[in-house]
Amino acid sequence: MHEYDLIADWFASQRTGSMGVPEVTALAASLPAGAWVLDVGCGTGLPLTRVLLEHGCQVMGVDSSRELLARFQANFPHVPVSCAPIQSCELQARTFDAAIAWGVLFHLHHEEQEQAIANIARALKPGAAFLFTSGDTHGSVDGAPMNGVPFRYHSYSVDGYRDLLRTHGLTLEATHKDPGENVYYLARKTG
């Protein structure tokens, strides 16, 4: 997203906490050694890509922000990346054992979220997990600006995500909110 290019330095300095770490740690611990994980909206890679790598996963990062990907590549020079929107990203004919999308889907309009989920689902192996965050109320709202840059957020209800995931061969297994009110969805590719 172009907006993240505008705030890349600020965002990198702010994304140092542990939000998402327990959830991604649990996911990584459930995967076999050497599992391939697609990190959608990978940003700088900190802290979530680092968690995956520390658990022996192989990672491919995708982000549409060139500025954030430059920081990602400085942090993890040997991890392959793609600078593209996930809804149209070519995933190099790879298949993945899991995918994460922390803090990215809700930036996409509803039809773009459907395209993104379809693209991710095609790249997942049968039985692969997909962990993502989004809202849990259907609609679009203006969010608080980040470092002066405005953002608009779009989400489905939990049932809306359940239906959307099912359309693309995924089953919603669990949802929960962390202390920061981030809503996590854990889905799995069927068949």
- pLDDT bracket for residue 10 (50, 70, 90): low
Q: What total of structural domains would you count in the chain?
A: 1
89 part of a folded domain:
yes
- pLDDT bracket for residue 131 (50, 70, 90): very high
Mean predicted confidence (pLDDT) in 87-93: 87
- Per the prediction, the chain carries an average pLDDT of 93
Q: Within the chain, how many helices (H) and strands (E) appear?
A: 7, 9
16 part of a folded domain:
no
Q: Quick one: which of 188, 113, 122 has its CA closest to 156?
A: 113
Q: Residue 155 has what pLDDT?
A: 96
Q: Residue 88 has what pLDDT?
A: 92
User: What CATH number does the domain containing 40 carry?
Assistant: 3.40.50.150
**Model pTM score:** 0.94
Distance CA 48, CA 20 (A): 7
What is the token pair recorded at 49? Answer: 């890509």
90 and 27 Cβ atoms separated by less than 8 Å: no
Distance CA 58, CA 103 (A): 21
Q: Residue 13 has what pLDDT?
A: 76
What is the token pair recorded at 187? Answer: 């889905």
52 and 60 Cβ atoms separated by less than 8 Å: no
What percentage of residues in the chain have a pLDDT greater than 70?
A: 98
Q: Quick one: which of 168, 7, 14, 35 has its CA closest to 100?
A: 35
Convert the pLDDT of each residue in 12-43 to its tens digit. Answer: 778 777 889 999 999 999 999 999 999 999 99
Convert the pLDDT of each residue in 146-168 to its tens digit. Answer: 888 888 999 999 999 999 999 99
Distance CA 110, CA 156 (A): 8
What SS3 state is found at 151?
Answer: coil
- Sort strands 81-83 and 96-101 into parallel, antiparallel or unpaired: unpaired
Q: Domain range for residue 61?
A: 2-11+21-189
- Sort strands 36-40 and 58-63 into parallel, antiparallel or unpaired: parallel
